[in-house]
Copies of this chain bind each other. A is one copy, B any other.
């Protein structure tokens, strides 16, 4: 199977490393390799029909800040330069327009290529259109890593819990907010906790996307569309972030043996992101950067899952599980 990687930041590089690391796994499972025939970042690209060295790509990016020597203006023209089977779209997300990720995904699907992405913008804005495009062209579109990082959630609901009707999913889906709220539990004011999150590399310089709840909202939309079969987008979510949570609110919660957590909730009728009071010791009361979700199924009852919501290899692991599902479907 020939893979084209669009986006070569942390996640793209992590995925390239995983592909290199799992060579013998692919050989054993499929009797053949998964090779990378193209890679692209925001300005440069490299393609080779015979396969690129994944570790070499990571080294090149590290040394030169670009994945390839060639410069491009039209990403879809680069995609057309080689034959590939699967697009792994992990370019920086744009939750307002879908950005280049949306363009790349549509282009690949329209050419009959399977797509794996963790790019939330395109999924939160154009889910139904993308799924329809995939169906029309006989393609698979998978996106496990777009919600919860390494924490299994989408495929868990649609495959491991297949047949059960999922009544609701409630979760902590943004590790940055949870880190900040956990620090506030220990008495830090919001601004200081945010600063620490930035120093630790959990929050970006502009933390708006995380702390205003937009990132969680994207994930809630993806869950609503994929698990609940709804047809909603970012603008349909009722969003409250964590910026107005005061030290007083935290202390008042603590005095009632509760904590405040930013919870995303989705059901057949609900689509909400808001800070909520959660009893200490409750699965949704966890501290730190983990993601966690409570899934309520009509027949399985409540299922709780947690795992690392972000990280180089962790997100790559979700992409890998999707890649294997695609390869199973195409090769076994």
* Residues in chain A within 8 A of chain B (CB atoms): 18, 21-22, 25, 144, 150-152, 155-156, 159-164, 281, 283, 297, 299-308, 311, 313-314, 316-318, 320-321, 323-325
Can you spell out 6 A-B residue pairs with CB atoms less than 8 angstroms apart?
A152-B303, A155-B159, A155-B160, A161-B321, A162-B324, A301-B311
Which residues does chain B contribute within 8 Å of A18, judged by CB atoms?
Answer: 163, 299
> In the complex the two chains form, is B162's CB within 8 Å of A325's CB?
yes
Contacting A159 at CB < 8 Å: which of B25, B159, B297?
A: B159
> In the complex the two chains form, is B307's CB within 8 Å of A304's CB?
yes
How many chain copies? 2
> In the complex the two chains form, is A303's CB within 8 Å of B163's CB?
no
> In the complex the two chains form, is A163's CB within 8 Å of B281's CB?
no
> In the complex the two chains form, is B22's CB within 8 Å of A163's CB?
yes
> In the complex the two chains form, is B325's CB within 8 Å of A313's CB?
no
* A164–B314 CA distance with the chains assembled, in angstroms: 10
> In the complex the two chains form, is B302's CB within 8 Å of A314's CB?
no
The 4 closest A-B pairs by CB, nearest first: A152-B160, A300-B317, A150-B300, A163-B320
Which residues does chain B contribute within 8 Å of A25, judged by CB atoms?
Answer: 163
> In the complex the two chains form, is B324's CB within 8 Å of A299's CB?
no
By CB atoms of chain B within 10 A, which of A151, A163, A283, A318 has the most? A163
Whole-angstrom distance between the Cβ of A290 and the nearest chain B Cβ: 9
Which residues does chain B contribute within 8 Å of A151, judged by CB atoms?
Answer: 303
Given A164-B320, A323-B163, the answer on whether A304 and B305 have CB atoms closer than 8 Å is yes
> In the complex the two chains form, is A160's CB within 8 Å of B160's CB?
yes
> In the complex the two chains form, is A150's CB within 8 Å of B303's CB?
yes
Q: Give the nearest-CB partner of A320 in chain B.
A: B163
> In the complex the two chains form, is B164's CB within 8 Å of A156's CB?
no
Contacting A300 at CB < 8 Å: which of B301, B302, B308?
A: B308
* A155–B325 CA distance with the chains assembled, in angstroms: 13
Which residues does chain B contribute within 8 Å of A301, judged by CB atoms?
Answer: 150, 307-308, 311, 313-314, 317
* A54–B313 CA distance with the chains assembled, in angstroms: 47
* A136–B151 CA distance with the chains assembled, in angstroms: 35
Which residues does chain B contribute within 8 Å of A321, judged by CB atoms?
Answer: 159-164
Whole-angstrom distance between the Cβ of A152 and the nearest chain B Cβ: 4
Q: Give the nearest-CB partner of A162 in chain B.
A: B324
Q: Give the nearest-CB partner of A297 in chain B.
A: B317
> In the complex the two chains form, is B164's CB within 8 Å of A317's CB?
yes
* A103–B303 CA distance with the chains assembled, in angstroms: 33
Whole-angstrom distance between the Cβ of A300 and the nearest chain B Cβ: 4
Whole-angstrom distance between the Cβ of A81 and the nearest chain B Cβ: 28
Which residues does chain B contribute within 8 Å of A299, judged by CB atoms?
Answer: 18, 21, 150, 313-314, 316-317, 320
Whole-angstrom distance between the Cβ of A233 and the nearest chain B Cβ: 25
Whole-angstrom distance between the Cβ of A178 and the nearest chain B Cβ: 15
> In the complex the two chains form, is B300's CB within 8 Å of A303's CB?
no
> In the complex the two chains form, is A303's CB within 8 Å of B303's CB?
no
Which residues does chain B contribute within 8 Å of A316, judged by CB atoms?
Answer: 299
* A113–B155 CA distance with the chains assembled, in angstroms: 27
Which residues does chain B contribute within 8 Å of A164, judged by CB atoms?
Answer: 317, 320-321
> In the complex the two chains form, is B161's CB within 8 Å of A317's CB?
yes
